[in-house]
């Protein structure tokens, strides 16, 4: 029996529909590569991009504020003496600020890690002005006790290679650019770092967990988010390691 043209067309349409459905299963729609507005607050970045899974942030790591550690010929040089973090008498270290090519790759949608990992020496995150955050150690298991005396007027300093960084509250961000309750940056696991206050009230160390953070609503995340807080007591920014799974950083 001959099939009608209508039957043949209907069959062809169904076949095309099945092929299209199969194709959709095999090739899902790519995730959005738009950069969420909260990451655009990192004003010190030379570029910020997203692949839908990770946010990639590129910076020089050099601070946009004045420092005694810039060369005296620099417009950002400023002599400094007196007291620094913790009321210690400032003692300048022999290093000078250099610029680098940092690439921070952090999860776009961070999650609590089943197995937490310790933060390494070196950059563990990035602040809004592009300066790296370091952890609470001056060296392997060495506290910052002696090193804090070399923090400049904004509580940062360079190490031997010239890499400037913050171990503690970055005063330029909390006192000049923003406030003590503001977003200050992100750690490599993608979770945000906030100042030493929440809604204008000092954070109590007892309200923070072993990783120096907690979950609550913030101005940037009104529905709530896990976030770290900087405080003036050890461990300052991060405690027993990353809350989430860290991305990567190259220099």
* Chain segment 121-163, per-residue pLDDT in tens: 999 999 999 999 999 999 998 999 999 999 999 999 999 999 9
16 part of a folded domain: no
d(CA 163, CA 144): 17
Most confident of 14-18, 31-35, 202-206: 202-206
Which tokens belong to 244? 């989430």
17 part of a folded domain: no
d(CA 247, CA 61): 18
2 part of a folded domain: no
pTM beyond 0.95: the answer is no
192 part of a folded domain: yes
137 part of a folded domain: yes
Q: What angle do CA 18, 22, 24 make, to 5 degrees?
A: 120
Instruction: Supply the range of the domain harboring residue 103.
Output: 31-250
pLDDT surpasses 60 at 11 = no
Number of independent structural domains in the chain: 1
What is the rounded average pLDDT for all residues in the chain? 90
pLDDT surpasses 50 at 2 = no
Give the percent of the chain with pLDDT over 90. Answer: 86
- Residue 77 DSSP one-character state: B
Cβ neighbours of 128 (radius 10 Å): 22
Sign of the torsion formed by the C-alpha atoms of 53, 59, 63 and 65: negative
Q: Which residue shows structure tokens 């946010």?
A: 55
118 part of a folded domain: yes
24 part of a folded domain: no
Res. 32 pLDDT band, cuts 50 70 90: confident
Task: Answer for the pair 205, 166: CB distance below 8 angstroms, yes or no.
Answer: no
Res. 53 pLDDT band, cuts 50 70 90: very high
Q: What integer pLDDT is reported at residue 187 of this predicted model?
A: 98
240 part of a folded domain: yes
């Amino acid at each position: 029996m001959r099939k009608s043209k209508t039957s043949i067309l209907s069959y062809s349409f169904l076949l095309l529909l099945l092929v299209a459905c199969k194709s959709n299963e095999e090739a899902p729609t790519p995730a959005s590569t738009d950069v969420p507005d909260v990451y655009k607050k990192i004003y010190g970045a030379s570029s910020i991009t997203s692949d839908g899974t990770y946010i990639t942030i590129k910076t020089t790591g050099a601070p946009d504020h004045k420092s005694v550690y810039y060369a005296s010929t620099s417009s950002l040089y400023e002599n400094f003496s007196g007291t620094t973090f913790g009321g210690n008498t400032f003692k300048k270290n022999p290093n000078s600020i250099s610029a680098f090519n940092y690439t921070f790759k952090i999860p776009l949608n961070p999650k609590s890690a089943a197995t937490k990992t310790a933060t390494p020496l070196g950059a563990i995150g990035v602040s809004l002005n592009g300066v790296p955050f370091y952890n609470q150690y001056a060296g392997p298991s060495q506290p910052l006790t002696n090193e804090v005396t070399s923090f400049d007027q904004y509580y940062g300093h360079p190490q031997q290679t010239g890499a400037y960084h913050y171990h503690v509250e970055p005063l330029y961000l909390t006192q000049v650019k923003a406030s003590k309750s503001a977003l200050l940056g992100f750690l490599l696991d993608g979770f945000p770092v906030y100042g030493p206050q929440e809604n204008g009230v000092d954070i109590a160390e007892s309200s923070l967990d072993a990783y120096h953070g907690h979950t609550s609503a913030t101005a940037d995340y009104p529905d709530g988010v896990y976030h770290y807080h900087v405080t003036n007591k050890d461990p300052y920014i991060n405690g027993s390691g990353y809350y989430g799974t860290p991305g990567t950083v190259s220099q």
